Structure 1
Amino acid sequence: MTRTAPPRPALFLDRDGVLNEDPGYVHRWEDFHWIPGAREAVAAFNRAGWWVFVVTNQSGVGRGYYAEDDVVTLHAKMSESLAEIEARIDAFYYCPQHPDAALDAYRHPDPPDRKPNPGMILRALNEWPVDLSRSIMIGDKPSDLEAARRAGIRGLLFPGDDLMAFLQPELKPA
């Protein structure tokens, strides 16, 4: 993506608990279930001209429960499913590091990308022409909102249920 394109607002979405049901450490497509209205919300923000990014902690990698390849494969399957309704995620950002990771390569005392740290959001802001003042982060945990605050964007706590209905008041053309 070129940074010379005009800035557009971005919708930052946590994954587990916002886009999909979260029974814990979802990493296989057969265990993935969209939250009601999630695909429709992504499509609506795409049509409105917003960037749509996923920013997700994936400590299951560092804990040794699954591999980074599993995360990448699941995100590809999500993209295929979204394409069925002409929707897309512009970029996926994930953090496999954790302070208590079982695998040395993923152990870090305070991973900069692990929410509540804003690293994933800041990477997107560096890589894409984002209108920071109009962007929002949707999460289901206080750590998601704290990451948004630290990155300088507004955060909204998703209470569950229907993502499209929740986001309808935020849907404005880019």
Structure 2
Amino acid sequence: MQLIILDRDGVINYDSDDYIKSVDEWIALPGALDAIARLSRAGWTVAVATNQSGLARGYYTVPVLESMHQVLRDAVQQRGGHLGLITYCPHGPDDHCSCRKPLPGLLEQVAQHYQTPLDGVWFVGDSLRDLQAAVAVNAQPVLVCTGKGELTRAQAVPSNTLIFADLSAVADQLLS
């Protein structure tokens, strides 16, 4: 199985420090949906692992989040692709869960769902938390410079981190 795991906010859609709280606020980044569809059409399984602490903070509800994810799925399908499992952490930073990145819980859920090890699987994110979660499960950390990626790039990132301009460039690399 060719598996790639993506963070959501800042990788697939625009991020906001005020949180993405509605379907109307969920806006895909240029080229991101096409990148997912291209990977899917080429045989890749594309999964998503995303922290969604806005749930714990009461900014939106699970049905609203699921509606955002349905918009994402529909948009990928309209481009001839398929989006696989979407896992999310509904907890806040002080909830002491095992799923909130940088902890590995979300990625472990993906591994369990697909019954596959994550050694070397690309995990694409825009934050240090994403990269640290990848390292925790021996996945390949991949940083995109969209979202908070440029700020993250200026930090000390794991030494084996691959860096790309955006999700489209990641797809180009994997499909070349």
Q: TM-score range by the shorter chain?
A: 0.7 to 0.9
How many Å apart are 1:16 and its aligned residue?
0.4
Counterpart of 1:121 (choices 88, 102, 107) is 107
TM-score (norm 1): 0.83
Letter in 2 for 1:50: W
SS for the counterpart of 2:70 is helix
Show the 5 A alignment for 1:88-127.
88-100=82-94, 108=95, 110-127=96-113
SS for the counterpart of 1:168 is helix
Q: CA 1:23–1:45 in 2, change beyond 3 Å: closer, same or farther?
A: same
Counterpart of 2:10 (choices 8, 17, 20) is 17
Q: CA 1:137–1:147 in 2, change beyond 3 Å: closer, same or farther?
A: same
Is the 8 Å Cα contact of residues 36 and 163 (structure 1) preserved in structure 2? no
Matched residues, percent identical?
33
Q: Render the CA deviation track for 1:111-164: whole Å, top value 9, x for unaligned.
A: 111000010110110110436344200000000010011011001111125421
Is the 8 Å Cα contact of residues 139 and 145 (structure 1) preserved in structure 2? yes
Uncovered stretches (5+) of structure 1, i.e. residues with no partner: 1-7, 101-107
Question: 1:96 & 1:155 partners in 2: Cα distance?
Answer: 23
Counterpart of 1:83 (choices 64, 77, 81) is 77
Question: 2:93 & 2:117 partners in 1: Cα distance?
Answer: 32
Q: 1:56 corresponds to which residue?
A: 50
SS for the counterpart of 1:53 is strand
Q: 1:105 corresponds to which residue?
A: none
Is the 8 Å Cα contact of residues 137 and 145 (structure 1) preserved in structure 2? yes
Q: Render the CA deviation track for 1:15-37: whole Å, top value 9, x for unaligned.
A: 00000011231132211111111
Q: 1:149 corresponds to which residue?
A: 135
Letter in 2 for 1:47: R
SS for the counterpart of 2:83 is coil
TM-score (norm 2): 0.83
Q: CA 1:84–1:14 in 2, change beyond 3 Å: closer, same or farther?
A: same
Q: Which has the higher contact order (CA 8 A, sep 6+)?
A: 1
Is the 8 Å Cα contact of residues 11 and 166 (structure 2) preserved in structure 1? no
Is the 8 Å Cα contact of residues 37 and 165 (structure 1) preserved in structure 2? no
Uncovered stretches (5+) of structure 2, i.e. residues with no partner: 147-164
Q: Render the CA deviation track for 1:48-85: whole Å, top value 9, x for unaligned.
A: 21111110000000011111111111101111111111
Q: Which runs of 4+ in 1 moved over 4 A?
A: none
Residue 72 (1) aligns with residue 72 (2): no
Letter in 2 for 1:144: D
